Structure 1
Amino acid sequence: MKLLRPLAAAAGVLSLLAGCALPRPPSTTASPAPPRWYAPLPHGGTQADLRQWWRRFDDPLLADLVEAAQAASPDVATAGARIAEARSARVAAGAATLPAVDASVSAVRGNAQSGVPALSTVVQNSVQVSWEADLFGGLGSRVDAATSRLAGAEAGWHEARVAVAAETATTYVDLRTCTGLVAVTRNDAASRAETARLTRLSADAGFTAPAVAAQARASAAEGAVRVTQQQAQCDLLVKGLVALTGMAEPELRRRLAAPWEEPAGIGRVAVPSVPAALLAQRPDIYAAEREVAAASADVGAARADRFPRLTLTGQINNGWIRVNGQTSNARTWAIGPLAVTLPLFDGGRLAAAEDAAAARYEEAALLYAARVRLAVREVEEALVNLDSAISRSEDVRTAYEGYRASFLAAEARYRSGLGSLIEMEDQRRLALGAELALANVQRDRLAAWIALYRALGGGWERPEPPLAQQ
C-alpha cells in the first residue's frame, strides 16, 4: 500500500493538469446562407408533400423504377458500406476507453532442471487487464469524431438515395416526353408524305411544276429523318433506364407501352421561408457539418497526444505444478505497473500531427460553407427554371394553337389549288416547332419540380438530437 501512494499522488497531479489542456476548436461554423430567397417561390405545399412526393405522380412504373434504381445503385451500396465502416470505427473508438481483458492458458511438460530425470507438468491460466485513463480527452475526442462521421455517413446514404431517385425520375420524364415527340414527328412525317404523294400526282398530270414536286419529296424525306432521330433518342433513354434500374429491357418496353399523361398534381412542394432553414432539410449539408465536428474532435485528439499518458495493468494467475506425483497449486495476482508516459522528444512529429489536424478542420469548415452555398444555388436554379416553365406554358400553348390553325388553313388552300407549297411548308415548320416547344416546356416543368425535390433534400429530416450528443 505504501508503494501505491506515490503513484496515486502522481495520478492526482496528472488529473489536475488535465484541466489545463488547451480547448478544442468549435465543432460548428457560421452559416453562409443568404438572408432570403431571390427567386420566385411556388405557392402552397408542406414538408409532408415532399416526403410523399413520388406518390403524387400516381405512376406505378415510375415508383418501381425508382425503387429498383435505389436497390441497384452502386452509389447507394457504397454509402451503405461507409455506414458499416463508420459504425465499426465508432465501436473501436469506444472500446479504447474501456479496460481491455485478455485470458491465456498454457501447459508445459518436461524436466524441471538440467541433469534431473524427474519430469514435471505445469498448467497455468491467467487474466490480464489493461486500461488507459483519458486524462486529456484524447480517447473521448476520438469517440466524438467517430460518432460524427457515423452520423455523416448515415446522412450520405439518404443523399445517395435521393440523388438516384431524382436521376431516375428525370430520365423517365425525358423518355415519356421523347415518346410523345416521336408521335408528333410521325404525324408530321405522314402529312409530308401525303403532300408529296399528291404533289407527285399533280406533277405527273402536268398541273404542277417538277421543282415543286421535288420540294415536296425533300420535305417528306426531312420528316422521315426527324422520326428516325427522335426514335434513336428514345432508344438511348431506354438503355439509360435499364442501366440505372437493372430492369430487363423487354419488360421495361412492355410497361412503357401503356399510355401516359403528364401528372397534374405533383406541385405544391414546400420551400423553407429563408435559406438558413434549408440546412435542416439537406442530408449533404448535415454530413458536411458532422465532418466539421469530426475534424474538430481530431484536433483535440492530436493535441491530447502531446500530453502525458497514464496506464494501469494487472493480472491474476492460477495454475498447478505436478512433479514426481506431487501436485502444487500456484495462485498469484498483481496490480501494476501504474505507468506515466511523457513524450519528451519526437522531432516535432506530434506537433506536426496537430497542425495537420487543424488544417483538416479548416478545410472541412470551408467545404461546409461551400456546400451550403451550392445547396442555395441548386434551390434558386430550380425555382427559376420552375417559374420560367410555368410562365411559358400558357404562351407556348397559345402559340401552338395559333400556328396549328394557320398551318391547317394553308394546307387546305394548297390542296385546293389556291395556295403555294412554299407557304404551306413555312406554316408547317412553324406549327411543328410550336408543338415541339409545347412538349418540351411540359418536360421542363416536370424536370424543375424534380430538381426542386432533390435540392430540398427529398424529405430528409435532421436527427434530433444529433448522434454525437446522444
Structure 2
Amino acid sequence: MNRKALTALLATLTVAGCTLAPDYQQPDSPVPATAGDDERIAEQLVLPGWEALFQDPQLQQLIRTALSNNRDLRLALLDVAEARAQYRIEGAALYPELSVDGDGSRQRLPADLSQTGDSEIQTQYSVGLGVAAYEVDLFGRLRSLKQSALQQYLATEEARRSAHITLVSEVANAYLTLQADRRNLRISRETVEAQQESVDLVKGRFDLGLGSELEVRQAEVALETARANQARFKRLVAQDRNALAVLVGAPLPPLPDSPAEDLDTELAALPEIPAGVPSAVLRQRPDIQQAEYSLKAANANIGAARAAFFPRIALTGSAGTASSELSGLFESGSESWSFSPSISLPIFSGGRNRANLDVAEVRRDQNVARYEQTIQTAFQEVSDALQARGSFTEQEQAQQALVTATRRSLALAEARYEQGADDYLAVLDARRELLSAEQELVSVRLQKLANRITLYRALGGGVFPDRAIQLSGRNP
C-alpha cells in the first residue's frame, strides 16, 4: 500500500467516531421527594452488610452456602459473563481484523488456452498481511452497538446484585419461618403434655365421684385436638426444611434441639432510618440501576438504527510478496499490494430501515416506562416497610401482654376447677385462648422480623458491608 493510500485510510479512520444516538436524558422521578413529613435528610446512611444484620452463626453459614451453591445466583453470574463477552465482541468490530495469509497454486494450461500456444504449468506463491471488509464507522453504528452492549453488561451486573440481595433475604426469611414453626411445634408439644395431665386429673376426679363423664370426654377431645395441632406443625417444620434446603442448594446441617425463645436473637437491628428519605435512597437499588442501564442501551440502539440510513464504507486490502518460485517470495521486487474500498448507499429497502428506527424508539419509550414503574414499586416497598415498623412493635407488646393475661387466666381457671368452684369448660376455654395467644405472638414476631428484612432489601443494601448510601445528590 503506497503512502498516499495509507494517509487517506488514516484520515478516514480519524473522522470516524461520531454517533447518531440521542443525548441521554434521565427521566424525572415519578414519586415524591420524600415519603413522610420530615424533609430533613441525613447526609449519609450506612446500611450494614448481611453478616452484621444476621447475627445467628448458623444462619450466616446457611447464607454463605447459598451464595456458593444456589442455582439462580449461578445463572445470574453466567448471564454477567455472557454480557461481558458480548461487549467485547461488539468492541472488537471497531478495529481492523488483520490476518497473515499464505497461498500456493499450480495449474496446467492446455495449449489452446496458453498465450504461448504450448501447454504449460503455472506456479504462484504469495504471502501477505490483509484486512478483510473493515467497516469505517463514520456514523457511529458500531460505536452505538458497543455502547448498547456495555449498558446491557452493566444491567446484568445489577441483576446479579439484585439476585444476591434477594437470595440473602429469602434464606433469612426461610430460616426464620423454620424457627417460628419449630417454636410453634414446641408450644404444641407443651400443650399436649398439659392436656395429658388434665385428662389424668379429670379421670382421677371422675373415679372418685367428683366429676362427670362429660368432663372426661371434653378433656380427651382437647388432648386429641392438641395432638392434631402438633402433627400439623411437624409437617410444616419438615416442609420448611425442604424449602430452605432448596434455597441453600445443599443438605441442611443439624439444627439445635430448642429454637430461640425470642426470634429477635436471630437478627440485629437496622440503623435508624429517617422517615423522609425513601425516594432519595432508591437510586442505590440494583433493580432501578438495572432499569436505567437498559434504558441507556435502548437509547444507544437508536443511534445504530439511524446510522443505517447513511452510507457504509468497507475497506479490504493486503500487502505482501508474490512469486512464481517459493524461494523468490522474499527477493527484491516481489512486493505486492491491493486496496479495495467499497461504499454501500441505501436507496430502497421497503421501509425496513424506517421500521427498525421506529422499533428502537418504541423500545426506548418502553424502557422509560419500566424505569418509572420500577421506581414507583420501590418507593411503595420502602414506604410500606417504614410505616409498618412502629405498628409491629406495638402489636408485639400488646400480644405479649395478652399471653401473660391468658396464662394467668388459665392458672385461675385450673385452681377454681380443682376447688370445685367451676366446671372443666372454663379450663378448656382458658387453655385454648392461651395456645392461640402464644402462637399469634410467634406469628407477630415473625412478621416484624420479615418486615425488617423487607426494609433491608427494599433499601438495596447489604451486598457490600462498606457500601454507603448517599442520600444527597441526583434524583433516582
TM-score (norm 2): 0.86
C-alpha distance in 1, partners of 2:122/2:53?
82
- The equivalent position to 1:75 in structure 2, one of 68, 72, 75, is 72
Which stretch of structure 1 is more off in the superposition, 348-357 or 260-269? 260-269
Q: Does 1:255 align with 2:263?
A: no
**Structure 1 residue 188: deviation in Å?**
1.2
Give the match for residue 335 of structure 1. 339
Contact persistence 2:178–2:241 (CA under 8 A): yes
Query: By how many angstroms is 1:27 displaced?
Result: 4.7
Q: How does 1:293-332 map to 2 (within 5 A)?
A: 293-322=296-325, 330-332=334-336
Query: Is the contact made by 2:48 and 2:270 (CA closer than 8 Å) also made in structure 1?
Result: no
Q: Report the CA distance between 1:220 and its aligned residue.
A: 0.8
Output the CA distance in 1 between the equivalents of 2:219 and 2:384.
44
Q: Is 2:96 the partner of 1:93?
A: no
The answer to whether residue 54 in structure 2 is matched with residue 65 in structure 1 is no
| More off after superposition, 402-411 vs 304-313 | 304-313
Q: Is the 8 A contact 2:291 2:370 kept in 1?
A: yes
Distance 1:195 1:46, change over 3 A: farther
Tell me how far apart the structure 2 counterparts of residues 284 and 367 of structure 1 sit (CA, whole Å): 11
Residue 336 of structure 1 aligns with an amino acid whose one-letter code is S
In structure 2, distance between residues paired with 1:354 and 1:424: 78
Contact 2:55 2:268 in 1 (8 A): no
Q: 1:463, CA displacement in angstroms? A: 11
Alignment of 1:17-36 (within 5 A): 24=22, 26-36=24-34
Q: Which whole-Å CA distance do the structure 2 matches of 1:174 and 1:40 have between them?
A: 34
Q: Which residue of 2 aligns with 1:177?
A: 180
Structure 2: how far apart are the matches of 1:151 and 1:2?
A: 43
CA distance, structure 2, for counterparts of residue 37 and residue 154 of structure 1: 29
* Distance of 2:42 and 2:309 partners within structure 1: 56
What are structure 2's unaligned runs of at least 5 residues? 471-476
Which amino acid letter does the alignment assign opposite residue 271 of structure 2? V
SS of the equivalent of 2:181 reads helix
- Structure 1 51/84 Cα, relative in aligned 2: closer, same or farther at 3 Å? same
Deviation, structure 1 residue 124: 1.8
Q: CA deviation at 1:335?
A: 3.0
Distance in 2 (CA, whole Å) between partners of 1:371 and 1:161 is 18
User: In 1, Cα distance between the equivalents of 2:220 and 2:63?
Assistant: 45
Matched residue, 1:468? none
Match of 1:107 among 104, 109, 132: 104
Residues 1:463 and 1:53: Cα distance change in structure 2 (over 3 Å): closer
CA contact (8 A) 1:179 1:234 kept: yes
Alpha-carbon distance in 1 for matches of 2:229, 2:149: 57
Partner of 2:35: 37
Kindly state the Cα deviation for residue 255 of structure 1 after the two structures are TM-superposed.
Answer: 3.0
Pair 1:364–1:463, CA change in 2 (3 A): farther
The Cα of 1:105 is off from its aligned counterpart by: 1.6
Partner Cα separation in structure 1 for residue 179 and residue 210 of structure 2: 44
> In 1, Cα distance between the equivalents of 2:205 and 2:330?
124
Secondary structure of 1:255's counterpart equals: coil
Q: What SS does the aligned partner of 2:451 have?
A: helix
The answer to whether the 8 A contact 2:104-2:126 is kept is yes
State the Cα distance separating 1:159 from its structure 2 match. 0.5
Deviation at 1:189, TM superposition (A): 1.4
Other-structure match for 1:125 = 127
Indicate the residue corresponding to 1:383 in structure 2.
Answer: 386
State the alpha-carbon separation in 2 of the partners of residues 315 and 397 from structure 1.
Answer: 85
Q: Which moved more, 1:115-124 or 1:151-160?
A: 115-124
Q: Determine the C-alpha separation between the residues in 2 that align with 1:45 and 1:270.
A: 13
Count of aligned pairs = 452
Alignment check: 8 A CA contact 2:179 2:259 kept: no
1:402-447 C-alpha deviation (Å, 9 max, x unpaired): 1111111111221232221111111112222221122122111111
Equivalents in 2 of 1:314, 1:140: separation in Å?
23
What CA distance in whole angstroms lies between the structure 1 residues aligned with 2:285 and 2:68?
21
Q: Which residue of 2 aligns with 1:146?
A: 149
Question: Which residue of structure 2 lines up, in the alignment, with residue 467 of structure 1?
Answer: none
- The answer as to whether partners of 2:173 and 2:453 remain within 8 angstroms in 1 is yes
Using the size of structure 1 for normalisation, the TM-score is 0.87
C-alpha distance 350-219 of structure 1, shift in aligned 2 (>3 A): same
1:84 pairs, out of 75, 81, 84, with 81
Q: What percentage of residue pairs aligned between the two structures are identical? A: 28
- Residues in 2 aligned to 1:45 and 1:67: alpha-carbon distance in whole angstroms: 32
Tell me if structure 2 keeps the 8 A contact 1:158–1:283: yes
User: Per-residue CA shift, 1:272-306, capped at 9, x if unaligned?
Assistant: 74333223320110000000000000011101111
Contact 1:295/1:364 (8 A) holds in 2: yes
Which residue is 2:192 aligned to?
189
1:237-252 paired onto structure 2 within 5 Å = 237-249=240-252, 252=253
Q: Which residue of 2 aligns with 1:394?
A: 397
Structure 2 CA distance for aligned equivalents of residues 302 and 69 of structure 1: 43
1:118–1:432 CA distance, 2 compared to 1 (3 A): same
Letter in 2 for 1:168: V
* CA distance in 2: counterparts of 1:150 and 1:105, whole angstroms: 38
User: Which ranges in structure 1 are unaligned for 5 or more consecutive residues?
Assistant: 465-470
2:164 aligned residue: 161
